[in-house]
Chains A and B, each alone.
Chain A
Amino acid sequence: MQFWIIQGLNSLSLGGLLFLLSSGFSLIFGLMRLANLTHGAFFMLGTYFGATALRSYSDLNIWLTALGAGIAVAAIGGLFERLVLTRLKTNPLGQVLVTLGMSFIISDACLLLWGGDSIPVPTPQNLQSPTRMLGFVFPTYRLVLVGCAIGAAGVLFFLLERTRLGAMIRAGVDDRQMARAVGIPVSNLFTIVFCLGAGIAGAGGVLGGPILSAYPGLDADMLPLALIVVILGGIGSLLGAFIGSFIIGFIYTFGTALFPELAYVILFLPMIFVIAFRPQGLFGRVSA
């Protein structure tokens, strides 16, 4: 029983991390029609920033670190969007290739700066002691992480559904040309959404650090999970990213625990089903 409960919690916390990664990916794809293959690298960059900061200052608050790393990664993302991606507006294939090139550059730069060894990220001290509930023992940090992802989802939902900016983004997702015609500054929205997505991924990277630790190849491990979440949940849909993240979190965690060698194959079965019967994804607004 303890096994199922703990693995269930692990699934939830991985799902939470995946949501932080894939919500930005999904929003960027929905609005900009851009498969941002740098997203895994943004996540990894966040983890390395967090690892460096938390290891050099032991009394640093992980939430502040996540915020700081998120802002730093958002700034890098914003520069990339302004300097490179806007030049390729009419060339969607070129945009994807450039994001791929950028992901190689970032991951190789991380290897150069931080070396090839995995760097563990310390769990915050006040969250290290386990929580006892109903006779079971839970790692507190993972519980907090799930809460954090749900909180982030709440904030994003509010931002998208209840604010003027969110309304403009939704208009851009549904019909970019019409949105531009009624005076919505779509190209500024692109930058905002790209920064937002990169920032959430970077902050998620810091929060995921104590569980995953920072290592070269983290980006290549996370990006396919984000792709599968978005293909599963539907492109441009926050709800799809949310549900998809937890589905994949469960499948991947239990797959790894029960059939370690086949975890990757099990991961791709739900994707096949969804693509076969509902190509636009479970909650997709636009088809790829």
Chain B
Amino acid sequence: MRWIATAPLAALLVLLPSFAGDFYINLASQILIAAIFALSLNLLVGYGGMTSLGHASYLGVAAYISALLTSRCGFGHGPAAIVSIGGTTAMAAFFGVIALRATGLGFLMITLALSQVLWGLAYRMSGVTNGDNGIAGLSRPMPFGISLDSAASFYWFALMVALFAYLMMAIFVSSSFGSSLKGVRDQPRRMAALGFNPWMIRWISFIYAGFWGGVSGLLYVYYNKYIHPTSLSVAGSAEALLGVIAGGSGTLGGPVVGAALVLLLKNYASAYIERWNMLLGLVFLFIVLVMPTGIVPGMSRLATALRRGSR
């Protein structure tokens, strides 16, 4: 049954560029990038119970490394991508060691402080990062000689990466390791008593989430061909977190839906009003006060209730 429902959706996703205009194709590419980012954050927030407010670090650092290597150091896109993902993952490993000394609110504060440090660095270290001007004039890679410069080709590229990322994260959370992560989220003491190492489980998940955050950062810089310190800002982390929570943390579909909603809202709202940050804040208040469990769990609960009612 599920396959029948999925097939039209898959066809729609693949064939989107054949009927939509460039504006919508680009919007869809941005949604795919935001979805990978939100999915990786959701590994921490939803499955690990570790609410990070510094996830933009991984997106921003991967994007900055790639931008610097390709524009300043003459690297090709292939090696630059490997170095940037590798560097971001190593940074996640290091940040994980620091942030996982604490749990709960302490974890949140440490991740926030670390990401603010990187944000400040991107602004102040203008000799390297070009400060507030950002780094412009970047190029997109050409995997197997195929140019990604048109909206449609980039969309298909992003779609492939996003599907792969979704699949890898779905495998991760449904694996026995994913179950132990959920166990550590709910009952860390019992898990420790059963012989698991909660710290190690959290740390590995943290690194894995950082890795996928880095992947979304690469796509982000390829898409925009430009990078600015705001990509590291707390607002970036907060938007992703809002997407995860609005969509439903701890589900695989939730962050995708949430990220799409936040992005659409941002795009349409900014066409009419300038005050995106204020709207973001108001949406935060609304979501937390009115739908604390998110849209996707809310909808599936509604669907179950309707099915019961119709019997």
CB <8 Å contact, B285 and A98:
yes
CB distance from B202 to the nearest CB of A (A): 15
CB <8 Å contact, B288 and A275:
no
- Count of A residues near B, CB < 8 Å? 48
CB distance from A227 to the nearest CB of B (A): 5
Residues on A with beta carbons closer than 8 Å to the beta carbon of B108: 35, 96
A161 to B298, CA, bound (A): 48
The stretch among A11-19, A99-107, A199-207, A238-246 that forms the contact with chain B is: A99-107
Residues on A with beta carbons closer than 8 Å to the beta carbon of B102: 275, 279, 287-288
Interface residue ranges of B204-247 to A (CB < 8 Å): 233-235, 238, 241-242, 245
List the A residue with the shortest CB-CB distance to B274.
Answer: A112
Residues on B with beta carbons closer than 8 Å to the beta carbon of A143: none
A20 to B277, CA, bound (A): 27
CB <8 Å contact, B281 and A104:
yes
CB <8 Å contact, B280 and A101:
yes
**What are 11 A-B pairs at a CB distance below 8 A?**
A29-B105, A35-B108, A100-B53, A104-B280, A104-B284, A105-B285, A107-B277, A260-B124, A265-B117, A272-B98, A276-B101
CB distance from A257 to the nearest CB of B (A): 13
The stretch among A66-74, A87-95, A150-158 that forms the contact with chain B is: A87-95
Contact of A261 among B114, B127, B242, B277 (CB under 8 A): B127
A275 to B245, CA, bound (A): 28
Residues on A with beta carbons closer than 8 Å to the beta carbon of B101: 275-276, 279
CB <8 Å contact, B106 and A98:
no
B51 within 8 A of A: yes
Residues on A with beta carbons closer than 8 Å to the beta carbon of B53: 100
Contact of B285 among A101, A109, A265, A275 (CB under 8 A): A101
| Interface mask (A9-40 → B, CB under 8 Å = 1, otherwise 0) | 00000000000000000000100011101000
CB <8 Å contact, B277 and A88:
no
Contact of A105 among B113, B124, B281, B289 (CB under 8 A): B281
CB <8 Å contact, B124 and A264:
yes
Contact of A94 among B107, B117, B288 (CB under 8 A): B288
CB <8 Å contact, B116 and A223:
yes
List the A residue with the shortest CB-CB distance to B287.
Answer: A97
A160 within 8 A of B: no
A267 to B117, CA, bound (A): 8
CB distance from B144 to the nearest CB of A (A): 39
Residues on B with beta carbons closer than 8 Å to the beta carbon of A263: 120, 124
B292 within 8 A of A: yes
CB <8 Å contact, A98 and B289:
yes
| Interface mask (B262-300 → A, CB under 8 Å = 1, otherwise 0) | 000000000000010110111111001100100000000
Residues on B with beta carbons closer than 8 Å to the beta carbon of A29: 105
- Count of B residues near A, CB < 8 Å? 44
CB <8 Å contact, A224 and B112:
yes
CB distance from A88 to the nearest CB of B (A): 7
CB <8 Å contact, A92 and B238:
no
Residues on A with beta carbons closer than 8 Å to the beta carbon of B277: 104-105, 107-108
CB <8 Å contact, B281 and A97:
no
CB <8 Å contact, B245 and A112:
no
CB <8 Å contact, A264 and B117:
yes
Q: Which residues from chain B sit less than 8 Å from chain A, CB to CB?
A: 51, 53, 98, 101-110, 112-114, 116-117, 119-121, 124-127, 233-235, 238, 241-242, 245, 275, 277-278, 280-285, 288-289, 292
Residues on A with beta carbons closer than 8 Å to the beta carbon of B233: 220
CB <8 Å contact, B98 and A88:
no
Residues on B with beta carbons closer than 8 Å to the beta carbon of A105: 277-278, 281-282, 285
A186 within 8 A of B: no
List the B residue with the shortest CB-CB distance to A93.
Answer: B51
CB distance from B68 to the nearest CB of A (A): 15
Contact of A230 among B109, B281, B285 (CB under 8 A): B109
Contact of B120 among A109, A230, A264 (CB under 8 A): A264
Q: A91-B288, A97-B242, A112-B278 are in contact. List 7 more A-B contacts (CB 8 A).
A: A93-B51, A96-B105, A97-B288, A103-B281, A108-B278, A264-B120, A265-B117
CB <8 Å contact, A262 and B285:
no
CB <8 Å contact, A288 and B106:
yes
Most B CB contacts (10 A, CB to CB) among A92, A108, A228, A267 go to: A108
Contact of A227 among B109, B119, B238, B285 (CB under 8 A): B109
List the B residue with the shortest CB-CB distance to A223.
Answer: B116
List the B residue with the shortest CB-CB distance to A33.
Answer: B105
CB <8 Å contact, A100 and B238:
yes
Residues on A with beta carbons closer than 8 Å to the beta carbon of B125: 261-262
A84 within 8 A of B: yes
Residues on B with beta carbons closer than 8 Å to the beta carbon of A276: 98, 101
CB <8 Å contact, A100 and B284:
yes
CB distance from B46 to the nearest CB of A (A): 11
CB distance from B96 to the nearest CB of A (A): 12
A114 within 8 A of B: no
CB <8 Å contact, A104 and B106:
no
Residues on B with beta carbons closer than 8 Å to the beta carbon of A138: none
The 8 closest A-B pairs by CB, nearest first: A288-B106, A101-B284, A104-B281, A224-B116, A105-B281, A108-B278, A264-B120, A101-B281
Residues on A with beta carbons closer than 8 Å to the beta carbon of B119: 220
A145 within 8 A of B: no
List the A residue with the shortest CB-CB distance to B102.
Answer: A288
Residues on B with beta carbons closer than 8 Å to the beta carbon of A112: 275, 278
CB distance from B79 to the nearest CB of A (A): 26
CB <8 Å contact, A228 and B113:
yes
CB <8 Å contact, B288 and A101:
yes
